[in-house]
Every structure is written in structure tokens, then in C-alpha cells.
Amino acid sequence: MALSREAALDDPWLGALSRAVWAKPELSMLPLDYRVVPRQAYRGPRLSTDGLRVVFCGIPSDYGTGFLLHLLARRANVCAVVCSTRWQRTHPTADLLARIAGHVGRPVEVVQNVNAEAFRNCLNEYAPDVVVMASFDQIIAAPTLSVPRLGWINVHPSCLPRHRGPEPIYWTIMGGDAEAGITLHWAVPRIDAGPILAQRTVAVRPDDTSGSLARRLVEAGLPALDETLERLQAGDLSAREPDLAQGSYEPPVTRPEVDWNQPYEAIDRLVRAGSPDQPPATLVDGERRYVLAVRRLKARRKERPGLISDRDGRMLAATGDAVIEIAWRPFGHTHAVRPLRGQQFP
């Protein structure tokens, strides 16, 4: 993949950042509190000022960062980057996307409400042809959607209209889907319901986590974004309307818990869906333990579902149909703060 090579970005800091993202076996969909900052001026070639004027909106997740780095690597005419403060509970600071944009000499807009009139006026000043958003944490209303000449493109990691909603990769694994997808669609006032511009699919592997699946979906989505922007530049605006009646919508995931009465296969999906962002918890002597991985040891016979043994660093439990070994830690996700109540990540 081009993003794993520093030469694609022609800048030491961006190259190192790109390698750090793509070295991860699992990509996160949550905002990450990166502290890395550039130590010297940008060394790469100037970005293009020709072609479609693109404004990028995102949060500093691996997912959002990967798409922004790709637009820079392909020398897209990124005229501004929009960052959200809503994921930062207190003392909002410039996030990684803002640092990237500033490093390459592009304006940064930090916004708490993209639907405020002040932001719409500001966005209008950039005269964007299109806004690309990848893992943005705000719902865009019709007046703001109307600002770009062509519209807003949302990069959504599912086979729309299946798994509309804020956490589609989680529900793809929880549903036991054989296939996952990434979809580029025009944003409309209804969540993940706009006309589809491009779609790519990948097979879901038996050992996939949300993070490993996210990595492959981004890899599939990058060329799809290239092809879509090239089509729009050529004047091809064709898109197909999704049949929402044939799709599904799932809500945000909140505090998943392990139910040991469930069969091993269901618990295994729960754990893999929660990695790396939302590991499920179980109570042990009144303390929450977050389950990172499970391994089947044997069929359950007389054991009661629940904890069997917790000695010498080895935790065993019985499920509805198996005895398993558990890898765990005493805390949940290690990323930046979870979203505030009512927020959603598309």
C-alpha cells in the first residue's frame, strides 16, 4: 500500500506518521489522543491548487487519519480541514488532523457545531466543490449540506444500506456477516441514507476483530475514493439510490457485558467486535474486567456458566457450551474519551 511508504508523502514527519498508522494490525475508529508533533517544516511538494476543491472533515481516529493522509499523498486540492471539538470533554486542543493540515500549510477550522450559521458562512468562503468526511462525529443538517457545489461525501464502513448507524463494523462482526464493505455516498439529512457513489466489499475472516476488519476496509476504500473524485472531476455524478427497506440500522454500542450463558461462538463474536475500541466487561469479585480475547478449551459438561478459576494469572470460565480461557485487563479502551451522550460517529 502506498501509504506505508514515506516516499508517497515526501515528508519525514508525515511518512513516519503514516508508517505508524499502517504498522497497526488493528485500526481504531475512536479519536486517538496523539501527542506527536512535527519537529521541522514540511519538506514535501506543495499540494495542488487545481481540480476539485476538497474540504476534509474527520476525527483523529486511525480511520479518519488514514483517509486524510491519502488525500495528501495523491496531491488532492485539499483547501481546508475541519476538526470537531465534541469528542474532547474539556479543554479542547488542536488534534492530529489539525496538526497535519497545519504542517502542509492548509487552513484548519475547529468547530463544535457544524450546523451553526457562523460555520456555514466560514465553509462557504472556501468555495468547496465537495466535502469528504471520514469518521466525523456530527450529524450534518440540510443547510450545511447545501454549501459545497456538489455535496458532502461520507465514507461509511459497511455495505450500505446494511448496517446504517454509528458503529457498523462492530455490528458486522456481531451479526456473523460473511462479507463487509465500505461505501462512499452523498450525505443527506437522514443518517447513511444518501445515493451511493462507490462500494467495495471484503470477506470477513473467522478471526477478524473490528480493528483488523477496519484496516482492510480502509485499504479497499482508498482507491474507491480516488476513483470517485476522478469521476466527479470529469462531471460524472451518477449514483444509485439505496433500498433502505432492504437494509438495517443499529444504535451506538454502550457498555457491552459478557453473558456467560451464551454459547462460545456468540461470546467470541462479542469479544472480537469489541477489539480494540470497546472490549466487553465482566464482574469478578465486584471489579470489572475487560475481556480482550477468548480461547475454547473443551466442551462444557457439569460446569455452571461463569467464572471457574482465577489463579496464577489464568482466568477460566464456562459458557453455555464450552470451557474457555480468557485474556483480560482491568481497564477498558486506551484511547481518548468516549463520545458524549447523544453523539454518533458515522
All domains of the chain in start order, with CATH: 2-246 (3.40.50.170), 264-329 (3.10.25.10)
Helix, strand, coil shares, percent, the chain, to 5: 25, 25, 50
Residues 317 and 162: their CA atoms lie apart, in Å, by: 34
Asked whether 96 and 103 are in contact (CB, 8 A), the reply is no
Average pLDDT over every residue of 12-30: 93
What global pTM score does this model have? 0.92
What is the Cα gyration radius of the chain?
A: 21
Q: 131-187, pLDDT tens digit by residue? A: 999 999 899 999 999 999 999 999 999 999 999 999 999 999 999 999 999 999 999
What nine digits make up the cell of 232?
466527479
How many other CB atoms are found less than 10 A from the CB of residue 130? 20
DSSP characters over 261-281: TS-HHHHHHHHHHTTTT---E
Residue for grid cell 491519502: 70
pLDDT of residue 3: 39
pLDDT of residue 10: 87
Residues 88 and 177: their CA atoms lie apart, in Å, by: 33
Q: 170-229, pLDDT tens digit by residue? A: 999 999 999 999 999 999 999 999 999 999 999 999 999 999 999 999 999 999 999 999
Q: 26-76, pLDDT tens digit by residue? A: 999 988 877 788 989 999 888 889 999 999 999 999 999 999 999 999 999
